[in-house]
């Protein structure tokens, strides 16, 4: 079977890398197309995954339809050469449109309820859309829900084991109490009108945290001079080991909130955007959400002062995982089945 995986964001490399290896081990031929966005290509190279770079044309962002069609054209060229039996992607605007034109099945993975423009551009052309069973919106006809979340494709206990030695090699003492703070750039289309930690309170928050624990900041945007010394400088693919041994994670990003929750680290999510996965983790006692600066500080102080916060979070995580699946296994079998059904009709 010939499987094409289209990747447009670094988190999607994590989502697919185990599945890509599994398909290859099963004898399938896998082609990966990728956009040069943030650390996407560096992650693919770290995992040893061959890829073909397929970027959007360099035209103004406000000409969104032309940018979309331009990448469609480039992906079409790759697909005509590779001749996939099935295409798969997270979100998957381009994979869905090109697969539809090629009359190939397209399996999409979506956990982002607020990405309405992307849904309109992708879902009508997809064969299947798979989402976590905590999805906040009523499922549509071709949407199927599974017991898990995207991050379980790479952080399920059968897929990932935190290593203290790796953390030490990054210059961090895993036995020392520390906090990871994640700041996003707020440049994505779905970030318009949203906010996280108020800019004028960031320095005060870091000061209060630093009085109690060591603080590391990972930020998409440049940090102001007074916070630059806190920047976390590690290879991006090692972040999950660092999150696992933290005493607290404060993050504006939903992906890192889900990751740290699955790693049993007490977490505070600071973002006006809501998501079903975040709500699920909050119900399970794995994280708290707020957009109020005063409440954020109070929550952080309380969690750092709680002597058994890590143990409590670990127990809650284990209870949650008892009802969840290994998402990589689900991805592998679902895409295989879709491709087999197509081949059976030839």
Torsion of CA 122, 124, 127, 130, to 10 degrees: 60
Mean predicted confidence (pLDDT) in 1-18: 97
Higher per-residue pLDDT: 345 or 271:
271
- Output the pTM of the full model: 0.93
Q: Which domains does the chain have, with CATH numbers?
A: 2-156+325-344 (3.40.50.2000), 164-321 (3.40.50.2000)
Which of 141, 114, 144 minimizes the C-alpha distance to 131? 144
Contact status, residue 196 vs residue 271, Cβ threshold 8 Å: yes
Supply φ then ψ for residue 220, to 5 degrees: -70, -30
Percent with pLDDT over 90 in the chain:
84
- The Cα 346–Cα 334 span in angstroms is 19
Q: What is the pLDDT of residues 48-91, one digit of tens each?
A: 999 999 998 887 766 778 888 999 999 999 999 999 999 999 99
- The H or E element containing residue 300 is helix 293-305
- The Cα 54–Cα 33 span in angstroms is 6
Mean predicted confidence (pLDDT) in 132-142: 93
What pLDDT does residue 186 have? Answer: 47
Q: What is the pLDDT of residues 290-306, one digit of tens each?
A: 999 899 999 999 999 99
Helix (H, G, I), strand (E, B) or coil at 227: helix
Neighbour count for residue 33 (Cβ, 10 Å):
25
What's the mean pLDDT when you consider all of the chain? 93
Mean predicted confidence (pLDDT) in 155-180: 97
In this model, does residue 193 exceed pLDDT 70? no
What pLDDT does residue 341 have? Answer: 77
Measured CA distances, 291 to 74, 245, 250, 260 (Å): 41, 25, 12, 19
Q: What is the pLDDT of residues 224-245, one digit of tens each?
A: 999 999 999 999 999 999 999 9
Give me 77's structure tokens.
């060229």
- The Cα 297–Cα 303 span in angstroms is 10
Output the 3-class SS for the chain.
Answer: CEEEEEECCHHHHHHHHHHHHHHHHCCCEEEEEECCCCCHHHHHHHCCCCCEECCCCCCCCCCHHHHHHHHHHHHHHHHHHHCCCEEEEECCHHHHHHHHHHCCCEEEECCCCCCHHHHHHHHHHCCEEEEECCCCCCCCCCEEEECCCCCHHHHCCCCCCCCHHHHHHCCCCCCCCEEEEEECCCCCHHHCCCCCCCHHHHHHHHHHHHCCCEEEEEECCCCCHHHHHHECCCCHHHHHHHHHCCCEEEECCHHHHHHHHHCCCCEEECCCCCCHHHHHHHHCCCEEECCCHHHHHHHHHHHHHCCCHHHHHHHHHHHHHCCCCCHHHHHHHHHHHHHHHHHHCC
């Amino acid at each position: 079977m010939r499987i094409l995986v289209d990747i447009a964001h670094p988190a999607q490399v994590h989502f697919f890398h185990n599945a890509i290896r599994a398909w290859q081990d099963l004898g399938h031929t896998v082609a990966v197309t990728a956009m040069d966005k943030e650390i996407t290509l560096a992650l693919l190279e770290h995992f040893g995954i061959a890829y073909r770079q397929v970027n959007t044309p360099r035209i103004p962002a406000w000409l969104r339809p032309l940018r979309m069609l331009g990448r469609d054209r480039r992906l079409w060229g790759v697909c005509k050469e590779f001749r996939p039996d099935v295409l798969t992607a997270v979100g998957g605007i381009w994979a869905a449109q090109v697969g539809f034109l090629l009359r190939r099945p397209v399996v999409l993975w979506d956990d982002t309820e607020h990405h309405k423009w992307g849904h309109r551009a992708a879902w009508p052309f997809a064969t299947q859309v798979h989402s976590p069973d905590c999805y906040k919106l009523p499922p549509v006809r071709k949407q199927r829900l599974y017991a898990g979340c995207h991050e379980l494709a790479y952080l399920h206990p059968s897929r990932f084991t935190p290593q203290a030695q790796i953390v030490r090699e990054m210059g961090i003492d895993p036995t020392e109490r520390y906090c990871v703070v994640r700041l996003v750039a707020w440049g994505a289309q779905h970030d318009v009108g949203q906010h996280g930690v108020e800019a004028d309170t960031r320095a005060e928050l870091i000061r209060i945290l630093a009085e109690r624990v060591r603080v590391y900041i990972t930020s998409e945007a440049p940090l102001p001079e007074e916070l630059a010394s806190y920047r976390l400088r590690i290879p991006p693919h090692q972040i999950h080991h660092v999150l696992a041994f933290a005493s607290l994670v404060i993050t504006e990003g939903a992906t890192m909130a889900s990751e740290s929750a699955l790693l049993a680290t007490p977490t505070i999510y600071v973002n006006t955007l809501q998501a079903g996965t975040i709500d699920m983790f909050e119900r399970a006692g794995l994280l708290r959400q707020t957009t109020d600066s005063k409440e954020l500080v109070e929550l952080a102080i309380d969690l750092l002062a709680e002597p058994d916060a890590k143990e409590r979070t670990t127990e809650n995580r284990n209870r949650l995982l008892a009802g969840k699946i290994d998402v990589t296994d689900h991805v592998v079998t679902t895409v295989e089945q879709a491709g087999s059904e197509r081949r059976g009709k030839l």
